[in-house]
Amino acid sequence: MAITLGGTTLPCPKDSTRQYILKKADVETLGGKTRWDVMARKYKYTLRWDFISVTDYDALEDKVNTLVPLTFIWDKYTSTTSPGVSVLASLSDRKPTTPGNQTLGFYSNVTLELIEVDSRI
């Protein structure tokens, strides 16, 4: 189950989460009840790799550094199935997990955060 980000295929991460980002208004009624009205809802996806190769990291970094919305597809989350969802990406710093040459046998620990561009409401 590979991930596609902006047309680039990446290996599956070790861990991932999906959380709501809600834009809402909280209202307390005269009767003391709290109500809220959701005006926008998006998802934020957090993907974490413990051992990503230099080749895969460089491909990921190239996509993130374009600073434009990317198409994200991953069958794990039905909200991203084909044709995908438009996201903005941010990438953590590379943290080496294995010693070695930068281009040969070098793996990194990295976290990728993706926030949907368009509201789902």
Residue 65 belongs to domain spanning: 3-26+36-116
Q: Can you give the pTM of this predicted structure? A: 0.83
In a domain, 44, yes or no: yes
In a domain, 108, yes or no: yes
Distance CA 48, CA 61 (A): 14
Query: Average pLDDT for consecutive 10-residue bins of the chain (121 residues)?
Result: 89 93 86 85 94 88 94 91 92 76 72 94 78
Question: Phi/psi at 33 (nearest 5 deg)?
Answer: -85, 145
In a domain, 31, yes or no: no
Question: Phi/psi at 32 (nearest 5 deg)?
Answer: 90, 0
Instruction: Give 83's Cβ-side CA count (13 Å radius).
Output: 1
In a domain, 100, yes or no: yes
Mind giving me the DSSP string for 9-22?
EEPPPSEEEEEEEE
Number of domains in the chain: 1
The structure tokens listed for 117 are: 């561009």
In a domain, 82, yes or no: yes
pLDDT at 72 (0 to 100): 96
In a domain, 121, yes or no: no
In a domain, 47, yes or no: yes
In a domain, 13, yes or no: yes
Displacement of CA 79 from its chain's centroid (Å)? 12
The structure tokens listed for 104 are: 């040969």
Distance CA 74, CA 52 (A): 17
